[in-house]
A and B are shown apart, each in its own frame.
Chain A
Amino acid sequence: MVTAIVEWFALPLQFEFMQRALLVSVVAGVVCAVLSCWMTLTGWSLLGDAVSHAVLPGVVLSYLFGFPFALGALVFGAGSVALIGVVNRTSRVKEDAAIGIVFTAMFGIGVVLISKIPTETDLMHILFGNVLGVSDSEIAQVLAMAAVTLAVVVLKHRDLTLYAFDPVHTHAIGLNPRRLEALLLGLLSVTVVIALQAVGIILVVAMVIIPGATAYLLTDRFERMLLISVAVSVAASVLGTYASFHLDVATGGAIVVAQACAFALAYLFSPTHGVAWRGGGQRGGGRTQSLLSGPARS
């Protein structure tokens, strides 16, 4: 029995492509898990979904013209976040509509561009990831972006939490909440691009929502939330990548299913917030307000 388990884990490591796949999915898992904590607390999950879809034209253009994929994805990710902000601020369209319009428009452009891609394989790789066939340059891009993202988070994590908790106070003590919002959005864009490599465009949003949401059900301490989130995400990346090898299924899908299972367990059996103990009653959390931008209701 024990030998079987050891073998289950050891066998795939003999293959270099599996080592590389594990490296990328674990690194992406760590970065996504960290960001997902703030996404959960700011209520930006829909925005994560939007950014991940909006990078499609950037990725396709990078493939077509031979740029590093990260470049095109970052330009379109950050660009669409800015565009959402512009549409939201300069028209009477509300934020959720602005998000929906911009990301579907971008995705549409991407789908049109994909028609110009020579083979079907590439399309599938963009949409669903291809971590088992990740190239050296892609690994280098992922590692570089992950290092920068984590360094910025280590430096600014208290400010990000301050902003997520109370943007008005942030303003009142002379700091700039808009700048912190932009920083968090920038980090989200980079993180989405990192995770593209592991699970593809369609499933990226899971990586930046589920680990943080799972951890949120398990603790009331932010530091612990970060740790639990990373643990859940890394475990899911490892299990998903192994499952994909042994069962011959898509890696991205397997990772996300593993994360979803972790969330389901926390949802049902969390010692403090588990539905199994509370009998399905619900407690509202999170905010949808944006006091900083909206006009006053006196």
Chain B
Amino acid sequence: MSTAAIEIEDVTVRYGDVLALDDISLDIAPGRICGLLGTNGSGKSTLFKTVLGLVSAQRGQVRLHGAAPAAARRRGRVGYVPQSEQVDWAFPVRVADVVMMGRYGRMGISRRPRRTDREAVARALEQTDLTGLADRQIGALSGGQRKRAFVARGIAQGASVFLLDEPFAGVDRRSEATIVEVLRTMRDNGHTLLVATHDLASVPEFCDEAVLLQRRVIAHGAPQEVLTPERLFDAFGIEPRTAGEAA
């Protein structure tokens, strides 16, 4: 088998006395969309931060396409799509500026864009269907367009592993369908996507696999196998009947 795109091996993370991740092991193959499911406090954010190298694990290691995370970051392999609450939408940047920020790791010291950079940005905007909105201030976009702008940033960056934090929060159904389409195309182009989401209903629609997290990996496999009523009850405390409907 070829190297996993995301390889998490025996990772344990503690914040002081709080055990955030307890001996997690997880391999995600290249060209897959993996849904990361769990309640608040289940360790989703911590797992993202560990993969991004923002928190260091007490035990275990993360490898991205076989490389250490720091090396993968320097090569621009890691794309990050933040949760809406973490973005200052009033910030005076245009959509094209945000997407261009994906290129900064490849640029010279003053980050002056060259032609290849502009072309990469134009392609990424086209792929996410944002070409006509390139000059808009970032906050002047709809919820779904905002998400796509950050996805475009990762595409322009040339990332192969994408971490998306709640990409469907605050997004209507139609925009969600557009985002899903963009994500599928990326998957078909060989990108690997780890998607943290609360939106259980959409998981079987667009994920190739799912991980149920509750400080440990409760289940990992095809969405139908993971989203069983019993497991959802364990993880979310939802009544089996309701959970069955949600799934």
Contact = CB atoms under 8 A, between A and B. Distances in A.
Interface of A: 41, 154-156, 158-159, 161-162, 164-166, 168-169, 171-175, 216, 219-222, 225, 283-287, 289, 291-292, 295-298
Given A155-B110, A172-B80, A175-B105, A296 B94 contact: no
A287 B98 CA distance: 17
Interface residues of B, number: 49
A211 B98 CA distance: 24
Nearest to A177: B54
B109 A155 contact: yes
A111 to B, nearest CB: 37
Given A285-B88, A291-B86, A166 B101 contact: yes
B86 A161 contact: no
Given A155-B109, A174-B76, A296-B49, A168 B54 contact: yes
* Those 4 A-B pairs whose CB atoms lie nearest each other, nearest first: A174-B74, A173-B105, A285-B90, A158-B111
A221 B95 CA distance: 11
Given A41-B88, A174-B75, A289-B86, 15 more contacts: A158-B110, A161-B93, A162-B111, A168-B82, A168-B86, A172-B78, A225-B92, A285-B90, A286-B90, A291-B86, A295-B18, A296-B20, A296-B45, A296-B55, A298-B45
Interface of B: 15-16, 18, 20, 38, 40-46, 49, 52-55, 70, 73-76, 78-80, 82, 86-88, 90-94, 97-98, 101-102, 104-105, 109-112, 137, 139-140, 153, 157
Contacts, number: 107
Contact of B54 (A165, A220, A292): A292
Contact of A298 (B16, B42, B87, B102): B42
B94 to A, nearest CB: 7
26 contacts: A154-B110, A155-B109, A155-B110, A159-B111, A161-B93, A165-B98, A168-B86, A171-B73, A172-B73, A172-B78, A172-B79, A172-B80, A173-B73, A174-B75, A174-B105, A175-B104, A220-B140, A283-B90, A285-B88, A287-B86, A289-B86, A291-B54, A291-B86, A292-B54, A296-B15, A298-B45
